[in-house]
Every structure is written in C-alpha cells, then in structure tokens.
Amino acid sequence: MGFISKMIDRRRIRKTLPDYPVYSPPFHDSEAVLAKREIKANYDYFLEQKARRLEYLTSYLRSFSVDLSLSPEALPALDGWFYRYGGHLIPDGGELIDSMQDYEPAWTGEYHGVNIVHDISIFAGDYIVLKNHNVRWHVNYGDGTRRDYDETGFGQPCLVGLRHVGCGVGNCSIFHGVYDFSDAARWRLKEGDRVPKSKFFEPGEFVRRLEYLANPNPPTVVPFSQLTMDD
C-alpha cells in the first residue's frame, strides 16, 4: 500500500473515531492493584456492556461496508478491514500497554482506537465461545502467587477452557491477543517491506487464529500466529 493510500486510511479512521463510545469500567488505577471486589465490579460492568459494545462495533464497521455477525462467512471481511486499518487504531509507544491493562490513560485522544481493538476482542471471544463448547468467559483474578498482578490480562475479562497449544486451561487474554494483530498492522505501516516476512503479517491469519481457537478439537498443526502470541 502506497503512502497516499495509508494517509487516506489514517484520516478516515481519525475522522470516524471521536464519535465511538469510550469503554470505561468503574475501577481503574495505574498506581494500585485492584482488589478482588473491584475486579468483580469491572467484570460485571463488562458483562453488562458486552452486547452494547458489539452493537457499537457493528454500527461502526457498517460505515466501512463490513457486515459483522457471529458466523464464519463474516470473518473474511472483518479480517480484511483489520489488516488494512488495524495499524491506525493504536499509537506508537507511549503508555499504551499500561492504558490497556489499567484503563489509564483513558481510552480517549490518541488511545481512542483501543476501544475498537477491545470491542473486536469481545467479538472474537464471543465467536470462540459460540463455536467451542469447552470455552467460557471469566475474569482473571490471578493465581494467588507472588506478583501475579504482573501477569498479562490480570483483572480483565478472559477466556477459560481452551485446550490449545500454549493456552492450557488457564486464563487466555483475548484482548491482548487481538491487540497483537493491531500492533503487527502498525509495524507494517511503519516499516513496510522491512518487516520480517512471516505468516503473522499475512492477510487471513486473524481468521485462521479464530477458527483454530473456536475448534473444540484443534489440529496438531498450530497456526504461526498462535505460536507467536503464546511465546
């Protein structure tokens, strides 16, 4: 994709993002570890808001001629959109990871696109849960070990019950997994042909990962992206 096309895409995202509703659970603190009751309150908020967040995402993607639904037929269009625009949703550097983990800085301004990434992860999680009877939504309370709050996805909604390579039956942070695709898209925009060639950067890999995790009897051959994100 040429420079002009990238610039047009970036402007389109910047123009449409400000009206997208911000996700903000009741408890967020970058300086303190949330108590279990606060994590539960945030998870209850997530469950209350989940259907509404999918409505926001569906409406937003419709403006790009993408019809979202929990069906295999809808996945290629979402994959194509995410591959093209995902890199424009997140900023370079800054406090992005802290913002994702602690909801601070708030998902506004340069972080507004994180709301889209978050809602795509809800869609991805719901798709996996719908197709894979072993999996359900839960929240990561930690495992009670020392500094478990440093674990990726601590205090956030997650998927449990995945029996796939690298997932075990513990907490799978689908939000951070979807973020990895957006981050890969950002690197493609920034580095172009200088990005190391791998399946992770190929169109269709997002769909392949979803279908892999949605399979209750996964094949022994693991998608490259799954290995990458579980390392």
Residue of 225, 222, 220 whose CA lies nearest to 203: 225
Per-residue pLDDT at 150? 74
Residue-number span of the structural domain to which 178 is assigned: 3-230
What's the pLDDT score for residue 53? 98
pLDDT of residue 231: 42
Low-confidence ranges of the chain (pLDDT < 50): 227-231
142 in Cβ contact with 152 (< 8 Å): no
Q: What are phi and psi of 159, to 5 degrees?
A: -110, 135
Per-residue confidence (pLDDT) for residue 121, from 0 to 100: 97
pLDDT at 191: 76
Structure confidence at residue 219 (pLDDT): 74
The predicted structure's pLDDT at residue 143: 77
Q: What is the pTM of this model?
A: 0.90
Those residues whose C-beta lies under 8 Å from the C-beta of residue 77, and which sit 6 or more positions away, are 66, 67
* pLDDT of amino acid 97: 83
**What 3-state class would DSSP assign to 173?**
coil
Q: Cis omega before residue 105 (within 30°)?
A: yes
What's the confidence (pLDDT) of residue 94?
66
Length of the chain: 231
Domain count, the chain: 1
